[in-house]
Amino acid sequence: MAIIRSIPGLVGLNVQRKKPANDNNLREAVIVKDLILAGRRAERSVIGLKDVTIGAKEIILIGGPCAVESSLQMRRSAETVKKAGGKILRGGVFKPRTSPYSFQGLGLEGLNYLVQAAKDHGLLCVTEVIDAQSLDQVVNRVDIIQIGARNMQNFELLKMVGKINKPIILKRGLSATIEEWLLAAEYVLAAGNPQVILCERGIRTYEPSTRNTLDLSAVGVAKELSHLPVIVDPSHAAGRRDLISSLSKAAIAAGADGLLIETHPNPAEAASDGPQSLTPEQFIQLAGELGVVASSVQRIFTAGRPEDTIESLRAQIDSIDQIILEKLADRMQIVRKLGDQKRLDQVKVASRQKEIVQRLVNLANELQLPAELVKRIYPLIFEFGIQSQIKSHLAQEKELELSTYYPTSGK
């Protein structure tokens, strides 16, 4: 049973400002006036379905192929999403395609593969509907309904999904403004369904380097004007897998409540959108990197536990080693800045070093890490820091000495 939690009580909605200060304020006033239900509330809405909540502190990962192709493909995709820490399996069974000759989906056969794979791996599932017939076929089978970019302004379809009790992912149209996007959501809400999740998936611009241009500013604007959760689909924005990782992290930093990312067991043989689909290994690796970004903006993402093979364990070690070295480089940079504020005879402070070692030994004991490791490593780190500060001071003194003896003559 889907639920939605929010505190009612609209703040300044449906009220035009008397004298907007500029054109931007006038524009915002017009948008807000018509967002009677989708407009900003006292608190943001959180859409809950079983054990998944979208719009709360946790970042929700949705993954799977663009199109359902086979039972085996969906089982492998579900396994990948589960391993990565994803909560929702995606897969298209009815595919609105630009070309009439492109793969249009497997229909009900594909729906069976999607639903069964999700069930077997304890995942929720989402698929797109394109008309009344497809909606009737999937509404009682899947957990979440998606309205694709091409149907964002299919107002009759929006009214139809507004009459069901299922969360709706509403993708932004190919060239839709944020106002049009939010007003499309208003159609669903006005028809009686409050469970709308906005999805930014890139818009069409003049830039040909990517399939679309990911508008991350839309995440912030949508959250400013509306109480609805916002997720991001970097796959359709980029159209190329090499950009998915950076765009996903940027989306979380921009305030997205979730990510919808395409992954395929064998992207080279995908019937649809292979170039933008991550391999299982890439998908799991990306998921393992999202937690750091989420925590930096006071959000949470818990990656799944990868299979403990030699290769995966070595990959985890390599990733951790990189983080250790990057943090060590940051520490040395701060040490050099600190040295610039000290006199040469103040570079080494034995009491400060002793205090640091003792604090870290206590922390090591709490983490069940050998204290001896800390006692061996940190004296080396201290020594390199001291030598760095000394060299910096000596270089400054030499520069000062040269400028004293060989002043630059003015003309």
pLDDT at residue 347, rounded to an integer:
62
Q: Where are the beta strands (DSSP E) in 240-372?
A: 258-262
Across 39-48, 87-96, 138-147, 310-319, which has the greatest mean pLDDT? 138-147
> SS3 for 340?
helix
Structure tokens at 141: 């089978």
Q: If you average pLDDT over residues 281-304, what whole number do you get?
A: 93
What one-character-per-residue DSSP string does 354-406 give? HHHHHHHHHHHHHTT--HHHHHHHHHHHHHHHHHHHHHHHHHHHHHHHHHHHS
* Terminal C-alpha separation, the chain: 84
pLDDT at residue 374, rounded to an integer:
87
Range of 358's domain? 310-405
CATH assignment at residue 395: 1.20.59.10
Domain boundary among 249, 270, 296: 296
Residues 291 and 368 reside in one and the same domain: no
Domain boundary among 239, 263, 296: 296
Q: Residue 235: pLDDT above 90? A: yes
Residues 222 and 334 reside in one and the same domain: no
410 within domain boundaries: no
Q: If you average pLDDT over residues 72-77, what whole number do you get?
A: 96
411 within domain boundaries: no
Domain count, the chain: 2
pLDDT at residue 368, rounded to an integer:
84
Residues 72 and 199 reside in one and the same domain: yes
Residues 326 and 380 reside in one and the same domain: yes
pLDDT at residue 334, rounded to an integer:
87
318 within domain boundaries: yes
Q: If you average pLDDT over residues 245-252, what whole number do you get?
A: 98
Residues 186 and 328 reside in one and the same domain: no
Q: If you average pLDDT over residues 219-232, what whole number do you get?
A: 96
Cα 385 versus chain centre, distance: 37
Q: How far is CA 8 from CA 4, 168, 229, 278, in A?
A: 11, 20, 15, 40
Higher-confidence position of 342 and 158: 158
6 within domain boundaries: no
Give tens-digit pLDDT for 338-391.
777 766 666 677 788 888 889 999 888 888 889 899 899 888 888 887 787 777
Structure tokens at 102: 């492109």
pLDDT at residue 102, rounded to an integer:
79
pLDDT at residue 4, rounded to an integer:
45
pLDDT at residue 20, rounded to an integer:
41
305 within domain boundaries: no
Cα 10 versus chain centre, distance: 28
Structure tokens at 74: 């969906």
Element (H, E) at 238: helix 234-238
Residues 272 and 330 reside in one and the same domain: no
Q: Residue 214: pLDDT above 80? A: yes
369 within domain boundaries: yes
22 within domain boundaries: no
Residues 173 and 150 reside in one and the same domain: yes
CATH assignment at residue 108: 3.20.20.70
